[in-house]
Structure 1
Amino acid sequence: MVSRRHFPIGFKITAGLLAFLIILALATSLLVANGFKIAEQSAIEHITGSLQSKSQNSMVQLTSLEAQLYESELQQYADLTRIAADMVVNFYETRGQWKMENEGTHVITSGSQLSLSSDGLLYYDADPNRITEILHPGNVPPDSHTNRSLYDTAILDELFPALLAQADMVVGIYFQGPQLTFRYFPVRNLPQIEIENGAAEAALTMHIETFPVAPQNNPDRKTVWLPPYVDDANQGLLVSANTPIYYGDEFEGYIGVDVSLSQLIERLKTLQPLQSSFAFLVDDKGRLIAAPTEGATRLAGRNLTYQESSPTGLLGLSLDQNRDLALLLTAMKNDQVGATQIDLGGQAVLVTHAPLQETGWTLSIAVPLSELSSESDVVSRSIYNDGRTTVRNTLLAMTGLYLIVIFISIWLSYRYLNRPLRQLLRGVRAVTSGDMNVTVPVTSQDELGELAESFNQMTGELNSRSQQLSQTSNELKIKEAQLKVATLEERQRLARELHDSVSQALYGIALGARTARTQLERDPAKVAEPLDYVLSLAEAGLAEMRALIFELRPESLQNEGLLGALTKVSDAVRTRHKLDIVTSFCSEPDISLDAKEMLYRITQEAIYNVIKHASATRIEITLMMKDGKLILEVRDNGKGFDPQGSFPGHLGLQSMRERVANCNGELLIISQPGQGTTVKVELAL
């Protein structure tokens, strides 16, 4: 058999570590040599990303600020409707319940009168000095409700001009009642316009309950912004804000303002932070509201027709026509300020967006990414030059560093790895040879130190277990000897019982039988007397034998219960030994059969000790339940003894203690010389 050389594990680990360090040094050198290329690309990406991040944050802040400005301005326009609505409600509440003095009259306020158009399409105020336009559907004759609406809103003739003067982009402010009674400012000859464009005829079939501001569509009674639309009174592209009017819980119409989106688009054209950027507005449905022509063209992804180039040409254009714009709309629906990068017409574009809470719109600014990173070329050239110098210096420093690391690794491997492993190996070999007292020194607090501590604990535990095993073996031998002594005592007791009772009875039977045979030969008439004597002895012997068998195996314990078994043993002892035995038993306890047998054997052992040692004339056996416990007491009037004394060769008391302990009970022996003995057992129910 060819022997092979075995290298120690410490040598293998050290060699492996050295090989790893050499490979690591070579790999690191290659990585560093090629690192300047990666560094250049990474730096360019980092600088570009940093510039884009800064620019993006600036654009987001600009968009958020502009959105707040638009929001504030639109909020002011909506506030105009709330002011007018509150004025109407306050006027109604201060003057009290409406009472019409002249029923059927067309007089609305002093100097005002409604006239019906020649085609019967609408009622209107023909007063040439009117401040506001008043229109009313021609198919609804004015009644008291109409008069109340116009009377309550007559105060708006003074309020509307003042409110409109505060809003540059508002082209009209108006009231519309439940019967579609309309009060509008400024005067634009609306009756003629409404009749010519067909709006008056369309109003005949309209109902205010279907309007977005009506109670069933606006249960929260908030100001409602309508979608953009082209005004039929030649006011261009408009958007309206409507605020409901309630008298308590009664809906009495609304106040509205018309805001010019054409002017809003002109303002959006000025919102151009970079050369190719543009701003646009989108509603909550993702439809385009306002955008400059160039921006609308890029959003549409095609050249616009002449009609689409008008301010209202792309009104309602849905921006989900391509995947990138659909992603943008998804980000906008979160109602938060943010930025999204999309591809728009083959160009990477950053779109920042901010919500306008008042209208549910979103203001967005689109900026090409190329305009955000123009400084990256200059930075990349600087990084390339610096990278070459860094590579050269790094390689020189790494060479010296790895030489130092290799030397330190060899020393540490020997100091903290090889030596502790050899010490552990010597300890294991000593244990293998049978030396359990061996220990190894703990030289560190690492895993090897823990292994050494565990080894020492293991050897200590093995030594302790060996001693415990030896002690347990000795105890088992003592128990075995005690069991043999107890068995011998029991045999001797049975022999004495058989000799004193059954053997004597058999001897008497034999003697009586001889006498009967003699009498049979001499005087047959007198043979009955010895036969009766034989019969009485046989019956007494049978009773003695049954009592002995019962003591050995109390079958009645399972069949008749604990009370039956205790009664039988009491009767047997009373009969055999002529003792005065008094019993007092409670009802049959609900305990296990093992516990019943334990109580029976304790009683049997206690009675046996009384008969054998106490010289007593009276025994009291008591079984009772008290405080959740079952209590057995065997009390005699014998000579007593010292329970703390030593009784070599007698295991009765020790046997009783072991039986009670096995059933989780408590045994108490109370006795003094000359004062009798009480054996008491307590068992939890």
Structure 2
Amino acid sequence: PERNRYRYRLSGVDDAWQEAGASTRAYYTNLAPGHYRFEVEAANEDGIWSSTPASRSFHIAPTFLQTAWFKLLCVCMVMAALALAVRVRSRQLAALFRARLQERNGERERIARDLHDTLLQGSQGLILRLHAISQSAQTPEPVRTQLESAMLLAERNLAEGRERVNALRDAPFAGRDLASALADVHAEYAGQGTNPLRLTMEGTPPPLQAEAAEEVFLIGREAIRNALRHAQASAIEVELSYGTRCFLLHVRDDGVGIANDNAGGGHWGMQGMRERAQRLGAELQLWTRPGLGTEVALSVPARRLYHRHPSRWRWPWSRTSHD
């Protein structure tokens, strides 16, 4: 027997026969869980190998850390940790956004107070002094006429300044739906029976994010006011389209149009509209030609304007926050 030689292999581990010489032991370490088949061949002193290898099959059961259930549990825990981190980060960003919004509203109110207490009040006092001078007996008639014309222009500017201050102090949108809010703007500036408004709406209005909806309203309001004040339009058309991917706002008029230098951004109203659209991540387009009217088109991605529907499934430890 001491002249016999052996060789062996383990299926799934050895690619070829392992020469063992005269040794009758084989060692394997760190075998993974699974089924194995161990085979042995022997050769006598003449070098003739056995025609059929001896074999033995065995199975190594996995430990708990090696089971598929444990791996699945680890994946679930990682996903839960990521979801929790996203939720915490979202709450932090929402709190930061609310703080910045409150700061912006406070700054707007401060500016409105300063304008009202200084510029508007000073302008009102100046108009009263000019009125007193125009009514004086020592004022010549030509000068009185010029003073009255200047006072009329000053009163118009003062009224527009008060309107701007009120817009800074109070949120003009105030949670209304866009269609009725824009219709109210037209009714306020156009008056009764003049400059008819045609308002059309496509789709069902979903819940809107208040801040983004206010920006859309302010863009639409500026477009309607430009059509009424500067374009001398006889008819205005407003179209609202609530699509699944984006929201579209079109304001068209048949007025005198806008000159090329103003259309490019030189007009303060158009500049403000472009800045609001940029903050929204929206696309603002303007088509105009002198004498052929103006069309303003605003396209807002749905994710920037629509409220996302809350998930019906929540983590057991999550709480519903009420603002």
Smaller-chain TM-score bracket: 0.3 to 0.5
TM-score, normalised with respect to structure 2: 0.41
TM-score, length-scaled by structure 1: 0.21
**Bigger Rg, which one:** 1
